[in-house]
Amino acid sequence: MKKPFATFLVLLFALIVFGMPLAIAEESASDDLHDASLEFDVESEGELEASETSLVASIDADTIVMVDRSIIFDASQSYDPEEGELTYEWHLGDGNRQTGVEIVHSYAEPGEYQVTLVVRSNDEEQDVATHTVFVYESTFLLITDNTKEVDKLETLVDYAKEQGVYVNLVGSFGETSEFLSEEALLQALQESVTTISKYDTFVVWTTGSSGLTILSQLSQSSSEAGDAFEGADIIVISDQNVATLQNIAEGTFRTISPNQIVLTRAEALWPLVDSANMSDFLADLELRGVTYKIVDSPVNIGITNFMSFFVNYMLEKGVPSNTLKLVLMLPVIVTMVAFFKQVVGLETLGVYTPSIITLSLIALGLQFGLFILFVILLFGTLSRLFLQRYRLLYIPRMAIVLTIVSVTILVMLLMGAYLNVSQLVAISVFPMLMMSTLVEKFVSIQTGKGLKSAFIIICETVLVSVMCYFIAEWTFLKTLMLGHPELILFFIVANVVLGRWTGLRFMEYVRFREIFRYSEEE
């Protein structure tokens, strides 16, 4: 009796500490890297001594500047080992020359200029440094998480540069789910809040309506960003229905108080680069036939949009949009679960379990969510098989199983950190813990119906959850629910209809097809 339990403890201990060989290998690799760096330092010591005995020219200046705006070029960081008197000659790339350790210059024409600094010492030794400056006529800040359009964004930035327009791109790419992408983009904007305050035109190109809600959250979290948005022009690029986006945009307008919010399509980006001002831009959109809608007033409460007003109010007060989206999508998810159970005939672990799995998949992303769920159920089953031979009461036995599952989650987080898998490191642990609570139901079914029946039920539950995930992640539906939350009332009616369903389920037609065939022959 003791030997299997000892084997189990050994396996559990190995699960917790299996990362130690990796850590040892990493330490060995770091030692090798340290030795290599020492060798490099020894080899480069002669070059360093040579550089310390020669004149070095250095330029400190901005890389971008607006037309007719002054830019300061500073050469005070230039190094002279003799500490003698130096002369500084500046070739500014537009035909002008100046002398001095620090100069001020302005460019009359847009374009890219190569600035050359020539530093000379008393003994006629000299050194040359170069610096590139881009001079622009207009500029705007582009906020995006559109991973699919990276090539188009690069083309836009290059085209804008040719037209003398500077596009400052602030983006977040590579996240596995929109839930994580929105959080990453908000963090990137919070880190760039000082830069944001320098702009009066903002272009937002994100998935669904997340860009509008991000502006509201950023305005609430940073007074500096709020001041920048106030009175600015906001251009929102989206392929969603403009009327649906308008409701959300009116709430955002109430929060950040811009001059106007223009809802339009991706085709409007090139006219924006070519236009001298917003009036010319809107006239160009009208001429080209590009769809657009101007929002210049906040939403007003009414009998048909009272829930929209309250949702926008919550966003204004700093409630995370991701939280609101999950709450608003929950009625959609539970209604779809009810449909698959009552009409299709799939067997699931109630309504709560597939709903929780779906919400976890939305938060974690489908790929990592399914992987984590599989690992949790696997170790939960293995733990049950180890413990079923011991005379333990049900509650303490389940506590041991959940403890092992918690250790498994901890190990996955450890491996994510070690392998630098950002999707595993950055995700919230709460969806993973919610998944871990499903182990108890899974183990209970194994005890009552056997492993095979439990496996079939969990497979159907996961299948329903995945189908609900794709429905809940439909960008159009999410934007529609956030723009018109009153649609929640429709799902109450839909569930009343499902509750009065008296016909056969689709799976029953498959199950009893032989009987139907026999009755038709009769």
Percent of the chain scored above 90 by pLDDT? 13
Give yes or no for residue 293 having a pLDDT over 80: yes
What gap in Å lies between CA 66 and CA 135, rounded to an integer? 5
Q: What is the pLDDT of residue 97?
A: 93
Q: What is the pLDDT of residue 378?
A: 87
What's the mean pLDDT in 312-335?
A: 81
Tokens of 46: 């002669």
Residue 254: Cβ within 10 Å count: 18
Of 317 and 409, the one with more pLDDT: 409
Give yes or no for residue 422 having a pLDDT over 70: no
Give yes or no for residue 31 having a pLDDT over 50: no
Give yes or no for residue 67 having a pLDDT over 60: yes
What gap in Å lies between CA 156 and CA 111, rounded to an integer? 16
Q: What is the pLDDT of residue 423?
A: 56
Of 354 and 42, the one with more pLDDT: 354
Of 29 and 64, the one with more pLDDT: 64
Per-residue confidence band for 427, with pLDDT thresholds at 50, 70 and 90: low
Question: Could you give the dihedral angle defined by the CA atoms of residues 153, 157, 159 and 164, in that order, rounded to the nearest 10 degrees?
Answer: 160
Per-residue confidence band for 32, with pLDDT thresholds at 50, 70 and 90: very low
Of 131 and 497, the one with more pLDDT: 131
Give the chain's end-to-end CA distance (angstroms, integer). 62
Burial string for 404-443 (b: 16+ CB within 10 Å, else e) reads bbeebbebbbbebeeeeeebbeebeeebbeebbebbbbbb
Tokens of 214: 């991000």
Residue 30: Cβ within 10 Å count: 10
Give yes or no for residue 7 having a pLDDT over 60: no
CATH class of 64-136: mainly beta
* Contact (CB, 8 A) for 120 and 89: yes
Q: What is the pLDDT of residue 30?
A: 44
Q: Where along the chain do its domains lie?
A: 64-136, 138-316, 321-511
Range of 151-165, 219-233, 315-329, 382-396 with top mean pLDDT: 151-165
Give yes or no for residue 194 having a pLDDT over 90: no
Q: What is the pLDDT of residue 426?
A: 53
pLDDT tens profile 471-522: 888 888 888 888 788 888 888 998 898 888 777 777 777 777 667 666 655 5
Write the single-letter amino acid at 360: S
Q: What is the pLDDT of residue 176?
A: 53
Segment (H or E) for 197:
none
What gap in Å lies between CA 324 and CA 319, rounded to an integer? 8
Give yes or no for residue 179 having a pLDDT over 70: no
Q: For 137, which DSSP code? A: S
Q: What is the pLDDT of residue 505?
A: 75
What gap in Å lies between CA 163 and CA 160, rounded to an integer? 5
Give yes or no for residue 4 having a pLDDT over 50: no
What's the mean pLDDT in 239-245?
A: 80
Lowest mean pLDDT among 179-183, 330-334, 338-342: 179-183
Of 422 and 376, the one with more pLDDT: 376
* C-alpha separations of 175 from 92, 266, 357, 507 in Å: 43, 22, 20, 37
Q: What is the pLDDT of residue 522?
A: 56
CATH class of 138-316: alpha beta
Average pLDDT, the chain: 79
Q: What is the pLDDT of residue 48?
A: 35
What gap in Å lies between CA 161 and CA 135, rounded to an integer? 9
What's the mean pLDDT in 408-425?
A: 73
What's the mean pLDDT in 94-108?
A: 92
Residue 367 half-sphere exposure, CB side, CA atoms within 13 Å? 6
CA-wise closest residue to 379 among 349, 410, 422, 353: 410
